[in-house]
Structure 1
Amino acid sequence: MNPYARPQAYRESSVLTASPEQLVVMLYDGALRFLRQSEAAFGEEAYTHGGERMARAEAIIDELLATLDMGVGELAERLQAIYVFCKRQLIDARLERDATKIRTVIRLLDDLRDAWAQLAAGGGSQGPSMPPLVA
C-alpha cells in the first residue's frame, strides 16, 4: 500500500463532505499557504519559484471570484472588489518583485478566511441578512 495515498484519501473525503462555507475556508487556506511560500521566495530573491507559488494562489482567487453568487447583492460585490484588488496587487508584486504587496494580500485574505471560518463553524447568520455567497 502506498503510504502517501492515505493523506490524499483523507483530503478528498474532507472536500466531499464539507459545507460550501468550509470549502471556501479550504480555498483560503490554500491561497494563503501559496502566498506565504511566494513571499518567502521573493524575500530570498527566488522570483521564479515565488511566481509559481503566486500563480497557484491566483488560480484559487480566480475560483473564489468565479463561485461568487452576484445575485445576493452588496456583500458579494464587495468580495468581488477585494478579490480583484488582490489580483492587481499580485500582478504588481510580480512585476515590481515586491514582497510587501504579497503581504498586503495575505492580510486581506487572512481576515476573510477568519470570517468564513466563523461562518462555517456556525458563528454567523445564514438567514436573510447573510445569503449564501457561493454558487
Structure 2
Amino acid sequence: MATNNPYTAYQNNTVNTSTPGELTLMLYNGCLKFIQQAKISLENGNIQETNVSSQKAQAIISELMLTLDKSYPVSQNMLVLYEFVTSRIIEGNIKKDSLMFEEAAGIMKEFRDTWKQVIQINRQKQYGEVNEI
C-alpha cells in the first residue's frame, strides 16, 4: 500500500536528486544523528534503543568504507579512522560508556565538516566557471 506522506515524498526526492557529494554529506549527518541517539538512549537507560542506534551508525560507516575511492593515498588513513570510529561505537555500546560515543562523534564531525567545505569549494568553482563563459 503506497503512502501519500509529503515528507516521505520529499525525502525520496532529495535522495534521488542529490549529487554523490551531497549523498556522502547525508551519510555523515545520519551517522552523527544515530551516534547522538545512542548516547542519549544510553544516558536514559534505554539499552535496546542504544543498541539499535549504534548498529545504524555502524551500518552507515560500513557504507562509507565500501564507497571509499582507494585510488587516493588519503583513503587508507580514512579507512583506519572509520575502523576506529566503528570500534568506539561498539565499545561504547558494550561497555555502556557515553564518552566513547562522544569520541566517535567528534571524529565523524571532522569528516562531515571537511566534506561540507569540499562541497562548498566545488560549488564556488562551478559558479566561477559559469561566470567566465
Q: State the TM-score, normalizing by the size of structure 1.
A: 0.84
- 1:34 paired with 2:34, answer yes
More helix per residue: 2
Counterpart residue type for residue 13 of structure 1: N
Equivalent residue number for residue 49 of structure 1? 49
User: 1:124 Cα deviation (Å)?
Assistant: 8.7
Equivalent pair of 2:54/2:90 in contact (CA under 8 Å): no
Residues 42, 111 of structure 1: alpha-carbon distance in 2 compared, 3 angstrom cutoff? same
Give the alignment of 1:20-99 within 5 angstroms: 20-73=20-73, 75-99=74-98
| Greater Rg by CA | 2
Q: Distance in 2 between matches of 1:122 and 1:12?
A: 26
Residues 40, 91 of structure 1: alpha-carbon distance in 2 compared, 3 angstrom cutoff? same
User: 1:54 Cα deviation (Å)?
Assistant: 0.8
Count of residues paired in the alignment: 124
User: 1:92 Cα deviation (Å)?
Assistant: 1.0
User: 1:121 Cα deviation (Å)?
Assistant: 2.0
* Runs of 5+ unmatched residues, structure 2: 126-133
Residues 124, 92 of structure 1: alpha-carbon distance in 2 compared, 3 angstrom cutoff? farther
RMSD (CA atoms): 2.1
* Runs of 5+ unmatched residues, structure 1: 127-135
SS where residue 107 of structure 1 aligns?
helix
Q: Distance in 2 between matches of 1:15 and 1:98?
A: 33
Equivalent residue number for residue 130 of structure 2? none
Q: Distance in 1 between matches of 2:106 and 2:47?
A: 21
Counterpart residue type for residue 101 of structure 1: M
User: 1:41 Cα deviation (Å)?
Assistant: 0.8
Equivalent residue number for residue 11 of structure 1? 11
Deviations 1:84-122 (A, max 9, x none): 001111111111111100010111101110111111122
**Percent identity (aligned):** 24
Q: State the TM-score, normalizing by the size of structure 2.
A: 0.85
